[in-house]
A = this chain, B = another copy of it.
């Protein structure tokens, strides 16, 4: 159930509605819009009767919502959410945001060189892992705290915003202290304790789709965060696991089109993991923009053949600059800028 308030509804009218919701044993969630506020209701089993709310003062409409995800649904909030990442806006009609950098922070020179290169080519955010979840306990797990410091240093040197992964609640405070945008990795998409902890923060989140998660499960994971009050969630398609083995994953661009229909949240695409083949990353980045992505996240390494992880899919700086030229042309063709 979604209660839509009239454009000029007063604070008292709003409080009156939320009191009524609580008196029924349910939970109200205020969803601020540009010219009016909506109030999502959760906690009900089965459908509620719209008549319970439709005649309250200040209420424009009471709408039955049919999807299991509510607060992230376009049924509940029609206009696009624009997420502000330390001044860089993503979603709606904002320019397409490009995040770029290495898989992992490896050294001061590596991250600074990468940061300067991607900034020069037009990226507005720097990606780079400090805490790396790895399939094997014997693989490189990141520089951890030292990696965060290097990211901060690269930010001060270039003005780029920093996006980096948080892998558990133990290190959440440390990572959130450095990151402008917190990345939740594919393996943690259904780590509900982590989602809840991040929902309590007021820090933007990049939520990556699990490698075998459905579109609906991705939206439910976002719902966990938004239900705790953190509305700044960006969804990320990064390829799914299928029977095809020639590519690292199968980039599911259908998901971009569907997510933009179903949800008001911004959608970013990771073509580097999505195909995993360096020579094709730029082609997939163009395709992502052509079908509606609000941003891109791209692996760039100063010397990909010597990268400690993901070298096969990383571009060098020159390759990234070329990718940006292609992306700009396609963005213009679909009425966007970069």
Interface positions of A (Cβ within 8 A of B): 42-43, 68-69, 133-138, 167-170, 187-188, 190-194, 196, 211-212, 214-217, 220, 223-224, 227, 240-247, 250-258, 261, 274-275, 277, 279-280, 283-284, 286-292, 326, 329-330, 332-334
Interface centre among A194, A242, A257 (most CB of B within 10 A): A257
Q: How far is the CA of A288 from the CA of B170 in the complex (A)?
A: 38
Q: Please measure, in the bound complex, the distance between the C-alpha atom of A220 and the C-alpha atom of B187, giving whole angstroms.
A: 14
With A220-B136, A283-B291, A284-B254 in contact, do A214 and B246 touch (Cβ < 8 Å)? yes
Q: Which residues of B contact A227 (CB under 8 A)?
A: 137-138
A277 touches B251 (CB 8 A): no
Q: A167-B192, A334-B329 are in contact. Are A241 and B254 (CB under 8 A)?
A: no
Inter-subunit contact A290/B190 (CB<8 Å): no
Q: Which of A68, A133, A224, A242 has the most CB of B within 10 A?
A: A242
Q: What B residues does A330 contact at CB under 8 A?
A: 290, 330, 333-334
Q: What B residues does A256 contact at CB under 8 A?
A: 283
Partner of A169, one of B169, B211, B244: B169
9 A–B contacts from the bound complex (CB under 8 Å)? A42-B137, A167-B192, A170-B193, A214-B246, A240-B244, A254-B274, A254-B280, A287-B288, A287-B290
Residue on B nearest A42 in the bound complex, by CB: B138
B217 touches A135 (CB 8 A): yes
CB <8 Å contact, B243 and A257? no
CB distance B284 to A253 under 8 Å?
Answer: yes
**Are B244 and A257 closer than 8 Å at their CB atoms?**
no
Known: A250-B252, A287-B287. 8 other contacts (CB 8 A): A135-B190, A135-B217, A137-B223, A167-B193, A168-B169, A168-B193, A242-B250, A286-B334
CA distance A134 to B136 in the complex (A): 27
B261 touching A244 by the CB < 8 A rule?
Answer: no
- Please, which residues of chain B bring their CB within 8 A of the CB of A168? 169, 191, 193-194
Contact, CB under 8 Å: A290 / B279: no
On chain B, the residues within 8 Å of A258 by CB distance are 246-247, 275, 277, 280
